Amino acid sequence: MAQRTSEKKKKTYTISELAKEFDISTRTIRYYEEVGLLSPKRTSGNQRIFTRKDRAKLKLILRGKRLGFSLEEIKEMIEMYDVAGEPEQIRLTLKYGDKKLKEIEEKIKELELLKEDLLNIREILIKRLEELESGS
């Protein structure tokens, strides 16, 4: 518990600390920096230093990926907060979320049809196997 409290009070993070915390590779974090999703500060020795804001962005990026959003969509949603404020960011996130829900609903329908087809084929094959085994 003491460690959690000290983690919350921490002001900066190294790339290794974030990679460990979120169970991702440092290469993934560097890639998010390359595509403009993260912008860590650098030490005089060129080591990346991530702020709490960077950590929060990384958490949003990973959540967005888990939900199936593209990196471009995630970038747009994150940037919307800085450009137009939270209400516009929420509107854009809802728009992308609704689009994603529609895609999921379509996939569910396709999977239901596929399941139905497989069950029908299974039934036909079972009947044929029974015919062959009974000698009919």
d(CA 42, CA 75): 22
pLDDT score at 18: 96
* Residue predicted with more confidence, 3 or 100: 100
Contact (CB, 8 A) for 26 and 13: no
Question: Does domain 1-66 correspond to CATH entry 1.10.1660.10?
Answer: yes
Length of the chain equals 136
C-alpha distance from residue 75 to each of 2, 17, 64 (Å): 34, 23, 10
pLDDT band at 8 (very low <50, low <70, confident <90, very high): low
Q: How far is CA 101 from CA 50, 93, 105, in A?
A: 33, 12, 6
- By percentage, how much of the chain surpasses pLDDT 70? 93
pLDDT in tens, 38-62: 999 998 888 999 999 999 999 999 9
The predicted model scores a pTM of: 0.71
Residue 69: pLDDT over 70 = yes
Q: State the pLDDT at residue 66.
A: 93
28: confidence class by pLDDT, cuts 50, 70, 90: very high
> In the chain, where are the structural domains located?
1-66
